[in-house]
Amino acid sequence: MTTAALEALDVSRSYQLDGVAVEALRGVSVRIDPGDYVAVVGPSGSGKSTLMHLLGGLDRPTGGVLRVDGRDVSTLSDEALAGLRNAAIGFVFQSFQLLARTTAVDNVALPLVYRGVSRGERRRRAVAALESVGLGHRLGHRPNQLSGGEQQRVAIARALVGEPRVVLADEPTGNLDTASGAEVLAILERLNAGSGTAVVLVTHDRDVAARARRRVYVRDGRLVDGPG
pTM: 0.90
Q: In angstroms, rounded to a whole number, what is the distance separating the alpha carbons of residues 129 and 202?
A: 23
Is residue 69 included in any domain, yes or no? no
CATH number of the domain to which 135 belongs: 3.40.50.300
Is residue 116 included in any domain, yes or no? yes
Is residue 122 included in any domain, yes or no? yes
Is residue 160 included in any domain, yes or no? yes
Which domain does 107 fall in, by range? 37-61+79-223
Q: In angstroms, rounded to a whole number, what is the distance separating the alpha carbons of residues 31 and 68?
A: 10
Strand partners, 217: 41, 224
Is residue 74 included in any domain, yes or no? no
- If one counts the domains in the chain, the total is 1
Between 104-113 and 148-160, two packed helices, what is the crossing angle to 10 degrees? 30
pLDDT tens, position by position, for the chain (228 residues)?
688 999 999 999 998 888 888 899 999 999 999 999 999 999 888 999 899 999 999 999 999 999 999 999 999 999 999 999 989 999 998 888 999 999 999 999 999 998 889 999 999 999 999 999 999 999 999 999 999 999 999 999 999 999 999 999 999 988 888 999 999 999 999 989 988 899 999 998 889 999 999 999 999 999 998 775
Nearest Cα neighbor of 88 from 188, 223, 200 is 200
